[in-house]
Amino acid sequence: MPLVELQQVSVVKKDRIILDLKNVEISIEKGDKIGIIGSNGSGKTTMIRVILNLINYKGTVHRHIQTKDVGIQMQHNQFSDLMKVKEIISLVCNCSLADSRIQEGLQRFNLQKLVDKRLSYLSGGEKQRLTIFLVIFHNPALLIFDEITSGLDFDSRNSIIKLIQSLTSDKTLLIVSHYFEEIEKLADKLLILDDGKLLAFDTIENLCETHQFFSAISIDRDVAFENSSLRFVQTDSQKIFMTKNQEEEEKVMEKLRHDNIPFTYKPKDIKTLYTYIRKQTQREIV
Ligand SMILES: Nc1ncnc2c1ncn2[C@@H]1O[C@H](COP(=O)(O)OP(=O)(O)OP(=O)(O)O)[C@@H](O)[C@H]1O
């Protein structure tokens, strides 16, 4: 039985449909690791709010999970900056700081030296380590992270991703993020929203198969390289060719090497897949 099922859901605010899942059903199965992606304002947080029953919606949501089994980190922390770390921990964990589970956690999340500090003193990475500790403390079955690494530098982001990886192998995970490498490392399914609508929801494996996407080969956008039979997407700086299979990949690489054109290569690149799916849908709408 799925943990959560959304059927024909929509959310209207100020006469505007901000989430429009009227013709779709979304099932979140136990053990799913779902990366929720989409541009700013596409409805990602709204969908999380619907799942958590924090917002009015039309349609049906079946929740086969109790609130106590859900661990949530939302985009904006609700704690006052003036609170001390130890106060927040006691409040959320509902036990004394001397409790062995707290002491173990402090050590595991490298928070021992921060317990007497006010929240405002903590760096972005430290705050997120604290958040993960609090979210995971009651051992929830479903974990929801909404832009957990937003604003962190490269090293802090990577250490948070590793931490989440190590803690969530046996959990169901919903992760909203604008960082594709984070989604790549943590998710095996993709849910793509665009302007409140669902563009795709499937395993990354299936999406690659459906779109015949084997690998992404990127070159500088301004370099001339003619290959009319190849699909590509463009970013501000790159032209990214999407190969269908190994044979096509080898041919492209051979030609690029022959023409002395530098390139990078990535199998099943999520950013390319996402850009392609969006481009395709926009074409269909036009
Ligand atoms: N309470 C509200 N009243 C009116 N409009 C709202 C409300 N909440 C969200 N919206 C609008 O709904 C749209 C979707 O918002 P949402 O926060 O779900 O997007 P998001 O995909 O999470 O964006 P981001 O990536 O920027 O966090 C946005 O245009 C937002 O301005």
Per-residue pLDDT reduced to its tens digit, 173-230? 999 999 999 999 999 999 999 999 999 999 999 999 999 999 999 999 888 887 778 8
Q: What is the mean pLDDT of residues 106-112?
A: 88
Residue, of 68 and 45, whose pLDDT is higher: 45
Q: Give 162-196 as a DSSP string.
A: HHHHHH-TTSEEEEE-S-HHHHHHH-SEEEEEETT
Residue 286: the pLDDT is 38
Among protein residues, the one whose CA lies closest to atom 29 of ligand 1:
41
Closest residue by CA, ligand 1 atom 25: 40
Give the model's pLDDT for residue 285: 46
Cβ-proximal residues to 65 (8 Å cutoff; 6+ apart), any chain: 3, 4, 141, 142
Instruction: Please give the Cα distance from 59 to 73 (Å, whole number).
Output: 25
Our mutation pick for probing the ligand 1 site, out of 46, 76, 191, counting the most ligand atoms within 8 A of Cβ, is: 46
Can you give the pLDDT at residue 72?
Answer: 85
Greatest mean pLDDT among 68-77, 101-110, 214-223: 214-223
Domains and CATH numbers, the chain: 4-207 (3.40.50.300), 214-267 (no CATH)
Helices then strands, each counted (H, E), the chain: 9, 13
Sheet order of strands, 264-267 included: 231-234, 238-243, 215-220, 264-267
pLDDT above 70: percentage of residues in the chain: 97
Q: Is 41 in the pocket of ligand 1 (CB under 6 A)?
A: yes
Model pLDDT, residue 94: 85
> Residues 162-182: what's their mean pLDDT?
92
Token pair for 147: 């832009």
What is the band of 117 on the pLDDT scale with cuts at 50, 70, 90? very high
Higher-confidence residue: 285 or 251?
251
pLDDT of residue 92: 86
Backbone angles phi, psi at 170, to 5 degrees: -105, 15
ipTM above 0.95, yes or no: yes
What is the pLDDT averaged over residues 112-120?
92
Q: Does the structure show a pLDDT above 80 at 98?
A: yes
158 contact partners, CB below 8 Å, separation of at least 6: none
- Can you tell me the distance from the alpha carbon of 201 to that of 36, in angstroms, rounded to the nearest whole number? 9
Residue 280, pLDDT > 70, answer yes
| Cα→Cα distances 265→177, 217, 223, 252, Å | 23, 5, 16, 11
Q: Is the CB of 190 under 6 A from ligand 1?
A: no
pLDDT of 232 strictly over 60? yes
Q: Whose CA is nearest to atom 7 of ligand 1?
A: 13
Q: What is the mean pLDDT of the chain?
A: 90
Percent of the chain beyond pLDDT 90? 63
Ligand 1 atom 2, closest CA: 13
Does residue 163 carry a pLDDT above 90?
A: no
Assess whether pLDDT exceeds 70 at residue 104.
yes
**Dihedral sign (CA 97, 100, 104, 105):** negative
pLDDT bucket at 75, cuts 50 / 70 / 90: low
Q: pLDDT band for position 138 (50/70/90)?
A: confident
Locate tokens 């190969």: which residue? Answer: 243
pLDDT at residue 193, rounded to an integer:
96
